[in-house]
Structure 1
C-alpha cells in the first residue's frame, strides 16, 4: 500500500519565508526596463494595425509611394536632372536661388573679385567666387560643360567618371554649406577652405 506523507505547516512556512522559493509573475514584469516595455507596446500596436484591413491598405500605399519615388529619382539621376529641384528655394521673381549659379564664369575677373571680397572680410562671397572659378577651370579643361542655370549637382554628375569627382564633390558640399547655409566664416576657417580649392586647382 502507498502511504501519503504530509508536510507540516511549520515546514511550509519556513520555505515560504525564503526568497528563492517566492515566484511572482508580477515581479518578472517589473524587471523589464522602460524601453523594453515601450518596445512591447509598439509591437502590440503594430500587430493590431496589421490585423485591420485599413492598416494593411495604409502599408500598401506607403510601399507603393516609396517604390514610385525611387523610380522617379533613378530616372532623374540618369538624365542628369537635379532630383531635389522641386524643393529648392525661389526668389520673389520665381527664379531659383538654391544650387543654381547663373553668373557667366567667363566674364568675371576672379583674382580681383576674390581679393576684394577677402579685403572686406566677406569670406562667404569669396568662397562662392572660388567655386565659380573652379567651374571655369573645369570647363576650360573640358571636364564639364558649363551652362547658365545648371545646378551644382549636375556638374558633380558630369565628373562622375573622373578621378576628380571625390574632391570636387567635397568642394561642392563645402560651398553649399557656406553659401546656402549663410555661414559667417572666421579668417582661419576661410583659409582652410581656400587652400582646399587651391589644392584642387593643382590637380587640373
Structure 2
C-alpha cells in the first residue's frame, strides 16, 4: 500500500511539473497584440495642476514607494538554508532549467520533507500515546486507599493480619502490618497520620534515628511487596514479618 501511495505521489508531482512547463510554453507562444495609436487630429495633451500633484504627494494613500523589508534572524536562517539546498542540487545535477521538472522537484522536496516529519511525529505520538499513560489512573491494590484511615482508626489490625494469614494472602498481611506500624507511630505521637501524606513527610516527623531507620526499611519492604507484581510466598512473609516486629518493639508502648 505504501509503495502504491509513493508511486501515485511521484506521478502526480511529475504530471504537475509537466503541466506547468506546457502552460508556460503556451503562454509564451501567444502572438503579441498590435499596439494602436490614436491618429485623430487636434489632440491636446492633458494639463495637470502642479498644486494638485503636490497635494497628492503629501497624501500617504498615494505613496507607492516600496520599502525594503528588514530581514530578521529567522528569514536570514531560512535564506541561508535555501542557498545551501540549491548549491547541493547544482553540485549534484549541475545547472538545470528554471521551469523544468527538476527545478519543480527541487522546490517541492523541502515541503515534502517537512510534511513527512510532521506525519512521523504524529504517528510516533499516536503510537507511544503518552497522553493515555499520563492520564491513566494507576491500578489500585486489593485494599483501597479510601479504607486505610478507617482500618487504622477503628479496626483490630492484629485480627486482620491473622485472617489474611489463614487465607494465605501474604501480600495482604504485609499490607495490614504496615498499617499497624502507622497506627502505633500515631498512638505514640511520633507521626501525625493523615490520609494524603507522603512517606517522606513521615520520615521528616520521626526524630528518633533508630525508629526512623527502621520505618524506612519497612516502608521500602512494603512498597516492594505490596506494589510488586509477583507472588509472595510464606517464606517471603516470614522475612518481612521479622522486620516489622523489630520496628514494632522499638516504638514506645501506649496505654489503651
TM-score by length of 2: 0.40
Which structure dedicates a bigger proportion of its chain to helix? 2
Task: Give the greater-gyration-radius structure (CA).
Answer: 2
